[in-house]
Structure 1
Amino acid sequence: MLTIADPRPTRHCQGLARREFLKIGALGSLGLGSMLTLPQLLQAKATGSPLVKDKSVVLLFLQGGPSHIEFFDPKMSAPSEYRSVTGELPTKHAGITFGGTFPQLASRADKFTVVRSYGSGNNGHTYESVTTAGNSLKSALSAIYARVAGVNNAASGIPNNVLVLPEAVKENLKIGSNFETGALPTLTQSGDLGPSYSAFNPAGGGQLKENLELKVSADRLLDRRNLLANLDGMKRAAEQIANVKGASEFQQQALDVITRGVAQAFDLKQESAATLERYDTEKLFPLAEVQRWSDMKRSTNLLGRQMLLARRLCEAGCGFVTVSDCGWDMHSNENSPKFLGGIHPLGRQVDHAVSAFIDDVRERGLEDKILLVVTGEMGRTPRINNNGGRDHYGDLTPLLLFGGGLKMGQVIGQSDAKAERAIANPFRPNNLMITIMNVLFDMGLLRLQTNIPRDIARLGETAEPIDGLL
């Protein structure tokens, strides 16, 4: 943990303590002392270290299990008890249709890739089967990224692993009350890597959020001589390392990063009214429309704001953002609307939020820098149950990928006539994980690293990437 402290004492109830200017999380992946870590990583970035690519990932995880049939594989030629209850919509691809709640995505199908033969292999609410792909460390890919790239972005100081819940984008929401905060401890789990690599949750408030802000009076901030005196230890340590040149330059850059702060990246008020309107999903349906069902009380109409925050975090240098959209209950039992009624508001929200994100990222010229992955912990049974709903099903699961420098405008794989099994190019979470890792890292260099766990270095040997994307 890098701490810039006011040298003058401040009294609190336990005695005297130095006032902390800002803490930037310990960048444990390099195993360096906290006084040296930030400047050294800034120097490494300037020299263009190729191990960690200049890319970011946004994982939109649909909690509760979205139906692959109502999403991207409607099967309208199948018997009525199998086909999509929302009908189908034509896309930019001849002969390819999407479910009826996705008109905006259907019109943009040439901008992203859908994998119709992906299945999580998971029939229950065990999120880690997707986000860890069963790796031996029991660590989500977001935590693995933080272990390799550092807990914080070296240039901006922003956390490299962030979880964006609905509570992060709207004030006065009670955490753990109506939403699924307490039900997803494994979604971004750090596993054997340890808690240092856990996701930063801006909805947590308190000290975690306050650590992102520099709170110091103007006279002390302007006293740069005093501030730089506190950084002299960095300079002396850096000058002892042969491969660090211009230590004072990076010392000054570290100070600039600190005084610039990163809290603004989490502030949606920094966006224009037009951008906020573009992402607005609250206007699509009243929250009470879905929250009258007990399980769907975890649902929100805030996904647009969450996706906008994810884009802002990526622009600020965050390497891995996990966005959780909760309440995807499709059983149509006493907990959710009959006849898959929940797909209508939730599907429209995903359609709007993801389309806004795609358009925004492309207009900003970031489509090669940011990879968006949309999936869930499972799909849904092809045969509709007696309530007109669909139950848990792991053989096929919706999967959409956009950007990241991957090959877009495709529909990869194929399911059988009733969307029960993949009949071409079946893929599982380990294939997805390796695909994402190839976007984020130079996998050849990763295998050569001696300062990270060997289990991470060997992950590239456990599976092949999804065919046709790289």
Structure 2
Amino acid sequence: MNIYDQQIQHQTRRHFLRGSGISIGSIALNQMLGTNSTATTIDPLLPKRAHFEAKAKRVIYIHLTGSPPHLDLWDYKPELVKRNGEDCPDEFYKGKRFAFTSGRPKLMGTPRTFKQFGKGGTWMSDAIPNFHSLADDLCVIKSMNTDQFNHAPAELFVHTGSPRPGRPSFGSWVTYGLGTENQNLPGYVVLISNGVQPNGGKNSFGTGFIPSVYQGVQCRSKGDPVLYLSDPKGMNRDIRRSSLDALKQLNEQAAKDFGHPETLTRIAQYELAFRMQMAVPEVMDISKESKKTLESYGAEPGGSSFANNCLLARRLTEKDVRFVQLFDWGWDFHGTNPGEDIRGGLTNKCAKTDKPIAALIKDLKERGLFDETLIIIGGEFGRTPFREGRTAGGKVLGRDHFPDAYSMVIAGGGARGGYSHGETDELGFSVAKDKVHVHDFQATLLHLLGFDHEKLTYRFQGRDYRLTDVHGKVIKEVVS
């Protein structure tokens, strides 16, 4: 007699009727709502339908932690260059909050060289040469705006819709809404360059109050791909399977008795971990790629570089992983040391990133995956149009945090290529045309994935929560 049989023998009539009622009611409710009963009660990661036909099936989100200087990459301001070194006008800094700026700062035009590329004449600087040939594939949103000016709350805001910890991340919302098409891999994978965690910590890819099965799973390109995935010493795969079967029986009975959603989550997580033991090591092994492919990305097997992670993003996307999140540290260009200088420091940083990103886009196009994969590139806010004062005695050029105006880039997955949306004023201090708030950006991304952002909700403590909170509108101009 197994554990389940023993539990059945001890069921009272009241227990049976209560459990049967819940089960029958759940099935009836799922049928009325047109949902997949299996996906919601047995495996929450099974594929689900979006609200309408989607432009994109999956996402690769490249977060540049620290926030790149958009005025030195995408948003060319010739008037700012002309007025370089002038005192900043009062209206642009007095009464405003900055992270480190004090006193009257000096305007700072970009030291970079800008040119226009592609049919749409997209402005780009010399810091990102590998992007130049991809101008017609990129949609540059130059009129972004956020409420936050410090790293952790701003990062949480863009990824979870709230500056405070405890809300589900964008990847969790997408996986919750769509499930995954590969049951042997996580629906939501996180890749972190050189192991440096994002400013928001694991909250930036967490689930908050929705079931933890939708949590981002951090995979590593060096060592064990996923921590604690391997069998403990002395345990083989057969023993592990037997242990999981016993745990499954206990958890299924607990789910019937208490109805806690995390119990079903545990079952799904244990089963996924068992399947991942075979699938994850294979997909994370980039040594199987050709020499040509490795060189195009600048990737080296065994490392944990950003280039390796871009190649892994393509491999995971090819295996139908729903959401791949990359975090790359080192974009906080304050100018306090040579590495943060927007001349040499930015050149060095971009040399490690624009090549693999460009290779990723080209690779996806060659494999027929680009049109159904939404690629997102950017940070948590912008950088000031004036020079920060803490610049190594004036020898280094840097910019402070700036929430009022910045740029984000999207490509593939229904994004309008070769198009620049919105404008900032002639000095780059504020949005002059077509302002896009963070919640608008999130609503637009969800729209490309087939969601009405007002209907993708989760009830918690008596309230229906969503990624866009109670705000957000779809920016239809950036949709192809």
- Name 2:322's counterpart in structure 1: 319
- Residue 409 of structure 2 is matched in structure 1 by 400
What is the CA deviation profile of residues 387-413 of structure 1, one whole-angstrom value per residue up to 9, with x for unaligned ones? 421111111222110011222220111
2:128 to 93, 98, 102: 102
Q: Does structure 1 conserve the Cα–Cα contact (< 8 Å) formed by 2:424 and 2:432?
A: yes
Q: Cα distance, 1:451 vs. partner?
A: 12
Contact 2:209 2:460 in 1 (8 A): no
Residues 84 and 262 (structure 1 numbering): CA distance in 2 closer, same or farther, change over 3 Å? same
1:328–1:198 CA distance, 2 compared to 1 (3 A): same
Q: How does 1:41-190 map to 2 (within 5 A)?
A: 45=47, 49-51=49-51, 55-78=57-80, 79-81=82-84, 82-93=108-119, 96-126=122-152, 127-134=155-162, 138-150=167-179, 153-167=180-194, 175=195, 179-180=196-197, 184-190=201-207
Q: In 2 relative to 1, CA 449–190 (structure 1 residues): closer, same or farther, beyond 3 Å?
A: closer
Find the aligned partners of 2:368 and 2:431 in 1 and give their Cα distance: 35
Distance 1:180 1:219 in 2: 32
Distance 2:404 2:199 in 1: 27
TM-score normalized by structure 1? Answer: 0.69
1:336 shift after superposition: 3.9
Equivalent of 1:197 in 211, 214, 221: 214
Q: Counterpart in 1 of 2:358?
A: 355
Which deviates further from its counterpart, 408-417 or 447-456?
447-456
1:316/1:70 Cα in 2 relative to 1: closer, same or farther (>3 Å)?
same
Equivalent position to 2:42, from 25, 37, 54? 37
Amino acid in the other structure paired with 1:397: Y
Counterpart residue type for residue 271 of structure 1: E
Name the SS for the 2:190 alignment partner. Answer: strand
Contact 1:109 1:409 in 2 (8 A): yes
**Cα distance in structure 2, aligned partners of 1:457 and 1:91:** 38
Q: CA deviation at 1:134?
A: 2.4
> Take 1:205 and 1:459, find their aligned partners in 2: how far apart are those partners?
37
Q: Check conservation: 1:117, 1:422, Cα contact below 8 A.
A: yes
Secondary structure of 2:357's counterpart equals helix
Q: Tell which deviates more after alignment, 258-267 or 29-38.
A: 29-38
- Aligned residue in 1 for 2:471: 462
Q: Displacement of 1:461 after TM fit?
A: 6.3
Give the one of 452, 455, 463 matched to 1:443: 452
CA offsets 1:265-288 (integer angstroms, 9 cap, x no match): 222123222111111068xxxxxx
Quick check: 1:372–1:403 contact (8 Å CA) kept in 2? yes
How many Å separate the matches in 1 of 2:421 and 2:450? 23
- In structure 1, C-alpha distance between the alignment counterparts of 2:78 and 2:372, rounded to whole Å: 36
The answer (yes or no) to whether the contact 1:212–1:261 under 8 Å persists in 2 is no
CA distance in 2 between partners of 1:218 and 1:395 (Å)? 56
Aligned partners of 2:176, 2:304: CA distance in 1, in Å? Answer: 33
- Aligned equivalents of 1:409 and 1:215: distance in 2? 54
Q: What does the per-residue CA deviation read over 1:68-127, in whole Å, with 9 as the maximum and x for residues that have no partner?
A: 101101213433533222121331146542122112212221111101111233211121
**Larger of the two Rg values belongs to structure:** 2
Q: Number of matched residues?
A: 388
Q: 1:354 to 1:207 in 2, by over 3 A?
A: closer
Structure 2 CA distance, aligned partners of 1:352 and 1:454?
Answer: 45
Which residue type is aligned with residue 158 of structure 1? L
Residue 276 of structure 1 aligns to a residue in which SS?
Answer: helix
Greater Cα shift, 356-365 or 326-335: 326-335
Structure 1: runs of 5+ lacking an equivalent: 1-28, 168-174, 238-253, 283-299
Of 217, 229, 244, which residue of structure 2 is paired with 1:211? 229
TM-score, length basis structure 2: 0.68
CA separation of 1:391 and 1:49: change in aligned 2, threshold 3 A = closer
SS of structure 1 residue aligned to 2:361: helix
Q: Which residue of 2 aligns with 1:417?
A: 426
- In structure 2, runs of 5+ residues without a counterpart are 1-29, 85-107, 254-271
Q: Shift of residue 356 of structure 1? A: 0.8
Report the 3-state secondary structure (helix = DSSP H, G, I; strand = E; otherwise coil) of the residue aligned with 1:372.
strand
Indicate the residue corresponding to 2:7 in structure 1.
none
Task: Quote the Cα distance in structure 1 between the aligned partners of 2:329 and 2:374.
Answer: 21
Which residue of the partner structure matches residue 268 of structure 1? 286
1:192 CA drift (Å): 2.5
Among all aligned residue pairs of Structure 1 and Structure 2, give the percentage whose two residues are the same amino acid.
22
- What is the CA distance between 1:262 and its match in structure 2? 4.0
In 2: Cα distance, 1:420 partner to 1:141 partner: 28
How many Å separate the matches in 2 of 1:110 and 1:452?
46
Provide the rounded CA distance (Å) in 2 between the counterparts of 1:268 and 1:206. Answer: 14
Distance 2:232 2:296 in 1: 31
- Check the 8 A contact 1:139/1:189 in 2, yes or no: yes
Could you say which residue in structure 1 is the equivalent of 2:333?
330
